[in-house]
Structure 1
Amino acid sequence: MAYWQAGRTEDAYQLWKGNLVESMYYGISPGNFEQLSHYDAFRGELYRDFADPIGVAARTLTEGLFGVYPKLLDNKIEIKPGFPKDWNFAELKLPDWEFKFNRNSKKIEYFFNSNYSKPVALEMQIPVNHSDIKSVRVNGKKVDWKIKPNSILQPFVEFETSTGKEFKIEINYSGEELKNEQTDFTNYISENLQLNFVSKKKIKQVF
């Protein structure tokens, strides 16, 4: 969950997928949410459909992978999708809400339907995969947007919708596709560190 909250969606998905495969497919009970893995050196695999991992798995699915975080006391829902970069489609239907994602070339669409009793506004944070944004529309109308400062690994576009129950969000891109640069390095004091960035990128700060 922390990886998704930090914007490291690729690593988050690999960890999440590995955990589900290990518990639900490699264990002795198919489809099980175990308390302890069979890799545990002392106790091995224990308990069937344990409440703790069920709750964590549900939260990582809804708040992590799909990035839906209700703030109903404020009549708002934060959405920060954590889909892997190569995904072009995803859909999840729950009793309280439905969320669908489609990507086609330089156009991305999100569909969100709320089944809560009161209308809600959406606070969106969407990862940007191209160098320019042509337009952001909600239910066919253009909305103001900005790039989130201090984004990790890639830019995020931020905007907020008016209150409602059904939302169609459309983002049109232009320019070149953004590629993630290597950000983790292991280097010794006696060695030189060489960073090979494309010519359009600049180092602004070093910590």
Structure 2
Amino acid sequence: MGPAPSTDLDSVEEIGIGMGDVNPTTAPVVSDGDAAPADTPTTAVSSRLSALEEQQGDLFEEFQYKTQDLNDAMAAHIAEVAASMAALTARMEKAEARINEANEHLETLEKKVTTVATQRARTASSRAAARRDRPTAPFLLTGVESRGGIDYIGVTPRSATGLADIRFMAIGDQYQGWTLSGISERFATFKVRRETVTVPFSSSDPAP
């Protein structure tokens, strides 16, 4: 015959003995909330972004400073150029005023020169016309002779052939419409047709 079957008590005893071998004070206790944090990639990216943001802020601030300095320098340069342009404009205006004044002076001189030239041309033309229209004496003067303190001039026709044709005239005498008005060493002056004509002596050069 085989062995007798075990009872339930025996099974409980065996289980109790097995559980008694475990020391609850020395067994490790594991909890889901006590897991140690790990250095994940997300933490590294966040740190890198923070560093980049800080660097970006520094660069932006430096850029603002440099931009302000550049704006100040440009404003100063523009002001300097504007002052130079104003000074140059003033000089150009003064130079233009002087040029205009010089041009006006030249125009005045040109007008004076033109006026003088016109007057001289008219005078020369008048003299030439007067010379052309001046009466020519129809006689020649032979010389001066004094009688009783009175001067006489010898007058002879241009067609005279001898001494018998000579006539003596004193101031106030008239011959062929010519009235003797003056006697000098080289010429005599006559009045004819409301004009005064100078007639040189035949032995002298023509009077001016």
Alignment TM class, shorter chain as reference: under 0.3
Report which of the two has the higher share of helix: 2
The normalised TM-score by structure 1 is: 0.17
Higher RCO structure (Cα 8 Å, ≥6 apart): 1
Pick the structure with more strand per residue.
1
TM-score, structure 2 as length reference? 0.17
